[in-house]
Amino acid sequence: MWQDWILQLTSGYQKKVMTKLVYVAVLTVVQLGVYVSPLGTWMNLGFQGIDILRNPQAYLLGTRPLCTQLAGLSRGQTKLCYLYRDHIAHVGHGAQLGIAECQWQFRYRRWNCTTVDDSSVFGPVLNIASREAAFTHAISAAGVVHIISRACRDGQLSNCGCSRALRPKNLHRDWIWGGCGDNIEYGYRFTEGFVDVRERENNYMRGSTEQGRKLMNLHNNEAGRRAVIRKTRVTCKCHGVSGSCSLVTCWQQLATFREVGDHLKDKYDGATEVRINRRGKLQLKNPHFNIPTAEDLVYLEESPDYCVNNHTTGSLGTYSRECNRTSPGTDGCNLMCCGRGYNTHKAVLKERCKCKFHWCCYVECKTCTKVVDRHTCK
């Protein structure tokens, strides 16, 4: 596919000038031997107020710069915050996008991507190296790639502009490759530097559980970034008198983030269980399964029981969750309620109805009410 040339960026042989500052900052932090607190995550930027992050004067709050006051950032990410101040609001927006998509994709699951009121964002759930943790890392990284790539195109960042992607080989020879495409190359590279530095600045004993989790997170971060690239498309537009299409221009464009979310949800359903070996490498736990690619999700531990409330694992349980009595799927009362049964109650639903258009120019509607059955888990 034409996207493959972008994926070659991950080989390390095609570094661009715009990525050098990122890796200089990462190298500096690694050399300093920075300690990263296990509490908090950079995804918390999605809850810290985009308006504050967008305000240049907000980088001095009291006597401390804003970057040091952003809960959830590691020391390496704080360093990058100073270097790329105009990027941080977009990182927060990307985190918001990823969290919202996670909640949409899991809205009918026992674990529904619920957030908590602290800098860990998802609570103790992320402490378990499960497929849910794999998905949250992937979708959050994908959200940042998506937002940064679009911000470059829109001229909102000082370090990047329109995409400089090469012309696809299968594009019609008479069509013009140009326009201002989404700069996915920059979005990929910046996200790789910002998100992955949290893992790379920690050195763990080879073959340890901590090293296994580090490699798992790095793998899933990469899968999320690649998902954005994989769903990228070529968009073309006709130009000419009366739609004659005498001239066609094409450019690189991001897919909707819902498509990226659907793609990663499929990867979640087919995630591969792995383990860390004594050489410090991830390997299949079951050798009969296929080896995961860089675009697949991997996990180290089985998911906890999400049926009941458990403060240790972070499970909120499914008590009082609404379910569909007639559905055989994950939103059905049988699966959602874990066999405990469900309660049924009547609810009054109000909606607009019998709307009429009046010339000129307004619509008049009536309010209709109906009684519906609602089912919630016991």
pLDDT number for residue 275: 95
The crossing angle, in degrees rounded to 10, of helices 209-230 and 131-153 is 40
Structure tokens of 76? 């390496």
Q: Which tops the pLDDT comparison, 305 or 31?
A: 305
The crossing angle, in degrees rounded to 10, of helices 20-32 and 75-83 is 150
Nearest-angstrom CA–CA distance, 92 and 22: 18
Phi-psi region of 298 (alpha: psi -120 to 50; beta: other; left: phi over 0): beta
pLDDT number for residue 277: 94
Tell me if 374 sits within 8 A of 321, measured CB to CB: no
Nearest-5° angle of CA 131, CA 133, CA 134? 60
Q: Which tops the pLDDT comparison, 203 or 34?
A: 203
Q: What residues have CB less than 8 Å from 123, skipping those under 6 apart?
A: 114, 115, 116, 314
Q: Which residues share a beta bridge with 324? A: 332
Nearest to 41 by CA among 80, 70, 81: 70
CATH 3.30.2460.20 boundaries in the chain: 318-377
Using alpha carbons, list the distances in angstroms from residue 375 to 106, 253, 277, 318, 378.
19, 42, 47, 12, 9
Structure tokens of 98? 């990823």
Task: Give the right CATH number for 318-377 from 3.30.2460.20, 3.90.1150.10, 3.40.50.720, 3.30.70.60.
Answer: 3.30.2460.20
pLDDT (tens digit, 9 = 90+) per residue, 200-245? 998 999 999 999 999 999 999 999 999 999 999 999 988 887 767 8
pLDDT number for residue 245: 82
Residue 189 has pLDDT above 90, yes or no: yes
Q: How many CA atoms lie within 13 A of 352 on its CB side?
A: 5
Nearest-angstrom CA–CA distance, 74 and 259: 30
Nearest-angstrom CA–CA distance, 266 and 135: 10
Q: Rounded to the nearest 5°, which phi and psi values hold at 61?
A: -110, 110
pLDDT (tens digit, 9 = 90+) per residue, 284-321? 999 999 999 999 999 999 999 999 999 999 999 999 99
Residue 174 has pLDDT above 50, yes or no: yes
* pLDDT-derived band at 24, boundaries 50, 70, 90: very low
Specify the range with the lowest mean pLDDT, choosing from 86-95, 240-249, 273-282. Answer: 240-249
Structure tokens of 215? 């490699």
pLDDT (tens digit, 9 = 90+) per residue, 152-168? 999 999 999 999 888 88
With pLDDT > 90 as the criterion, what percentage of the chain qualifies? Answer: 66
Q: What is the mean pLDDT of residues 262-281?
A: 96
Nearest-angstrom CA–CA distance, 359 and 376: 45
Q: Tell me the pairing of strands 247-253 and 176-177.
A: parallel
Residue 94 has pLDDT above 50, yes or no: yes
pTM: 0.85
Q: What is the DSSP letter of 332?
A: B
Q: Rounded to the nearest 5°, which phi and psi values hold at 149?
A: -60, -40
With pLDDT > 70 as the criterion, what percentage of the chain qualifies? Answer: 85
Structure tokens of 286? 């079951």
Q: Which tops the pLDDT comparison, 172 or 14?
A: 172
Nearest to 36 by CA among 281, 217, 294: 217
Q: What is the mean pLDDT of residues 269-281?
A: 95
pLDDT (tens digit, 9 = 90+) per residue, 253-263? 999 999 999 99
Q: Please count the helices (runs of H) and the strands (runs of E) in the chain.
A: 10, 13
Q: Which residues share a beta bridge with 353? A: 366
The crossing angle, in degrees rounded to 10, of helices 85-105 and 75-83 is 120
